[in-house]
Chain A
Amino acid sequence: MFSITRPRRLDLELYPNIGQERTLLALAGAFVTVNFAALNTVRGASILAWLPVLAWVAAAIIGHWALNQWLPRRDPLIFPITMFLSGWGLAAIDRLAPAFADRQALWLLVSVAGMVFSACSPRTLRWLRRYRYSLLVGGIGLLLFSIFFGVNPSGQQGAPTLWLGISGVYFQPSEVLKLILVAFLASYLAEQYPLLSARDVQRTLGGWSFSPRVFGPVLLMWGVCVMVLVWQRDLGTALVFFLAFLSLLYLASGQVWVLFAGAGLMVVAGILAYQLFAVVQLRVDIWFNPWIEAEGRGYHIVQSLLDFANGGIFGQGIGQGAPGYVPVAHSDSIYAALAEEWGFLGAVGVVCTLMVFTLRGLRAALAHQERPFYALLAVGMTTLIAVQSLLIIGGVLKLIPLTGVTLPFVSYGGSSLLISFIMAGLLLRLTSTEDSHAL
């Protein structure tokens, strides 16, 4: 399957990036180990409590080794960043919801395997491009399937049924759809790129292009987002889809009006959603002033903000704060929990790491300017992760209405972790300079 089938001994002088990656992984490992040591000291846990750390170390070593073998000329930061964030998340999940830690550790191993596969197999990118319509139909099919047959792993009545489950294993089709949609749009827009970027088209009607080639995907995305919003009440995912799509369309067309039109559509959709859906109304109302209903509808945001206040600059220390007051602290609100126990410095650490990830992802896009599909795919995946991070971080900080999305690599959630790692793997693939002909 892999284009380079013969593992080889690596010359670190030839591949200095590998040495950098190894150093960064060691630092990330030290961070994760120290945090687990502190946590296990606080709670007096048994030796079994170290299992997640062992899983993390195994994932880091195997991932690093496999990438060295099959993708030695890669970006040295992306893999350490993903491992650093997922290790931090693992420690936080073990602290907040210990029952889920082992499961998340297992998902980490699967996710790193998925990343290695997507990074090292040259066919993945080709498949994504060649079978984009099939993948899109399959993805939407899965989404429709989840609308009718979806469940919630908690079994709670009234909770969103966004998951499909088989034998106790659950995954969210919308997570898969994220990748498929980005790949589809990147592929579609890459095909339209010469036309979209042509000056004469841009000048049509004074710079406003009404080509169906542009509006086709716009309407498609609009439809998918509305479907997600209406049937699944998943405002966060709908927003992530749409913002990532807008970024791609802007890059493909170079038209600023695309952003304004997109923003206008979002406002219209927001107003309609506010009028039509109680969940949206709730989110917006409590966003404006959560304190007046601090023990009711505003409880989630108020407690999130108190996480930050209680954490101060240096935090309470792992296992020593009280982030449990925030609902789903191990999932959607994990950033607030991190802020309480690692303080403002921890909050800065997460955001700065995500900023570097974004920088490296967009850097990969710039390296493929002559190959629009790869460039747009890199931008799409990077933007997806960045926008999703911003939505949930902004939500718990009351900068925007709270949306139920995970913090990539950090939050609890197997399908989210897997897809995030697969996207990181594809980015690694796109940063590889060794066998660009194989792309």
Chain B
Amino acid sequence: MRFERSVAHLLIGLMVAFILMLTSALYWGVAGADEALSSPFNYRQRAALAALERGEIVDRNGHPLVNSIAAETDGWLRLTRDPSLSSITGYASLTYGTGGAEAAYNAILTDTDQPKTFTDTFDRDVLHIPQHGNDIRLTLDFSVQQAAADALSGRTGAVIVMDATNGALLAVASSPTIDPSTLDSEWESLIKRTDNPFFNRALQGEYQPGGALQPVLLAGWLIAGRTISDTLTLPQGLDSPVNLGEVMVNCLQSPADALLTPTQAFLAGCPAGFDAMIVALGETTTRSTLTLFGATQHTELTGFTLPAPPSDAKAIISDWQSDALGQGAIRLSPLDMAVITAAIANDGNAPQPFLLESTRAYGSEEWVSYTAPAQTTPITTAQTAQAIQTLMHQSVQSGTAFGAARTDLPIGGHVGQAISGQQTLTWFIGFVEIEPDHTLVTVVLLEGDSTASDAAHTGGDILRAAVDANTHLTDF
């Protein structure tokens, strides 16, 4: 009897131990599996990723931007065709994950965006048939992107080129940026760099707009029934500096004549003229104008993580005069500024920017449109927008944006500067009409000590490249 009891105890002990083992196996195999699999030491995941042929990324003309090439051993390597692309196409590293468009459209590129049929799941999970992602066609134009990246070479800043008619992004460049081909080997030094090459200034940056906000203020002036020829109340003259607390802002250039009009203020980039205008309009009108043009919220771009919109737009505009002059709490990304510029260039209709144009299933020849036809949002009247367009053309002809002038190109533009801490931010916003009702816009942002002329020249070069590229443009 005692022996039986002892054997029973032993048996129970052993059975409990075995069940404990199964419980632990259940935890690691099922309950805790996801956490374990996400470990950076899960080399199986890396091997599975390497075995997956990610889809190809091409530009709007079908020019390959990024594709997968067979590795010498098993798996695939990701090849970015040109360094100029990396700030928008990003990277797909087996070790460090994805960034840029590779991250934004990762589900499509890895064919994980749609629910799988039973057969697909069986092929993938049971038969382990090699998987292929789908191709994507971006709205980018390779040559425009190259021009934008070249223009930023060696500088810190960002460039956006957008089709104002529908919001298609033709170029998104940020500098400095990373080189995906050396990302794995240089990761440790890249993440320690103070200039943050992973940061996409064009999409994620938040910058004080400074004088680049002047077209919006001018629109508010015109919407309020005023004209560009009205005489402003400026006892100390148009070129008097404006004291905004810690910052003193001045004209970008001397006014051409002594007239105290919005036109002169705009062409010379004089903040005193705009300060007088917003005082005349009042806080409420100024606020509503800024909100109307989207200056108090960030633009969305599907798939990308952009700056979070402020929870309360009104709260931001605390010192409303500083904000209106672009030296306050309002901060915009170059993409935000591109939408504002496009609204003006597109006769008052703001487009919704997009980057992904169509997708193509693996092995298929047919591209399927991914983005619904872009809807534009009317912001102001065509008359108001055209009045500002005219002034922007004049600015390129004889104003602060003179550097952007290019032979035979009807470029309109404006330059603005903001003083942000110890550095100056220089903006160029511009547009060019390439055919009736078809306009391209660009936004150039340069950090550091660039001049208005630098920014305007850069903008002109980029618009020239965009127009040249457009001669081969496929209509969306």
Contact = CB atoms under 8 A, between A and B. Distances in A.
Interface of A: 197, 247, 250-251, 254, 291, 294-295, 299, 302-303, 305-306, 308-313, 316-317, 320-322, 325, 339, 343-344, 347-348, 351, 354-355, 358-359, 362, 365-366, 369, 375, 379, 383, 386-387, 390, 393-394, 397-399
A222 to B, nearest CB: 21
A301 to B, nearest CB: 11
Secondary structure type dominating chain A contacts: helix
B10 A308 contact: no
A316 B128 contact: yes
B131 to A, nearest CB: 13
A306 B41 contact: yes
Contact of B25 (A247, A322, A339, A354): A339
Contact of B10 (A251, A306, A311): A251
Top 4 A-B pairs, shortest CB-CB distance: A308-B28, A309-B36, A344-B29, A309-B33
B2, B9, B29, B41: which has the most chain A beta carbons within 10 Å? B29
B28 to A, nearest CB: 4
B274 to A, nearest CB: 58
Contacts of B5: 254
B10 A250 contact: yes
Nearest to B26: A344
A397 B28 contact: yes
Contacts of A295: 41
A197 B5 CA distance: 13
Contacts of B30: 312-313, 344
Given A305-B36, A309-B36, A348-B22, 19 more contacts: A250-B6, A250-B10, A251-B6, A308-B29, A309-B32, A309-B37, A312-B30, A316-B128, A317-B128, A321-B44, A343-B29, A344-B26, A354-B18, A358-B11, A358-B18, A366-B7, A375-B3, A390-B18, A394-B24
B6 A347 contact: no
B42 interface: yes
A322 B43 contact: yes
A348 B22 CA distance: 6
A365 B47 CA distance: 50
A348 B25 contact: yes
Contacts of A306: 36-37, 39, 41-42, 44
Contacts of B71: none
Nearest to B32: A309
B94 to A, nearest CB: 14
Contacts of B7: 251, 362, 365-366, 379
Given A247-B10, A317-B126, A399 B21 contact: yes
Given A308-B28, A312-B30, A351-B21, A322 B14 contact: no
A294 B41 contact: yes
Contacts of A339: 25, 29
Given A251-B3, A344-B30, A375-B3, A310 B42 contact: yes
B114 to A, nearest CB: 22
Contact of A397 (B4, B21, B43): B21
Nearest to B48: A322
Contacts of B20: 394, 399
B18 to A, nearest CB: 5
Interface residues of B, number: 35
Contacts of A386: 14, 18
B17 interface: yes
Nearest to B42: A306
A351 B22 contact: yes
B4, B28, B41: which has the most chain A beta carbons within 10 Å? B28
Contacts of B28: 305, 308-309, 397
B32 A358 contact: no
A291 B21 contact: no
Nearest to B17: A390
B26 to A, nearest CB: 6
Given A347-B22, A362-B11, A313 B29 contact: yes
Contacts of A197: 2
B5, B17, B26: which has the most chain A beta carbons within 10 Å? B17
A308, A386, A393: which has the most chain B beta carbons within 10 Å? A308
B248 interface: no
Interface in B30-55: 30, 32-34, 36-37, 39, 41-44, 47
Contact of A294 (B18, B21, B39): B39
A344 B32 CA distance: 13
Nearest to A343: B29
Given A294-B39, A302-B41, A321-B44, A379 B10 contact: yes
A176 B21 CA distance: 27
Contacts of A387: 14
B46 to A, nearest CB: 10
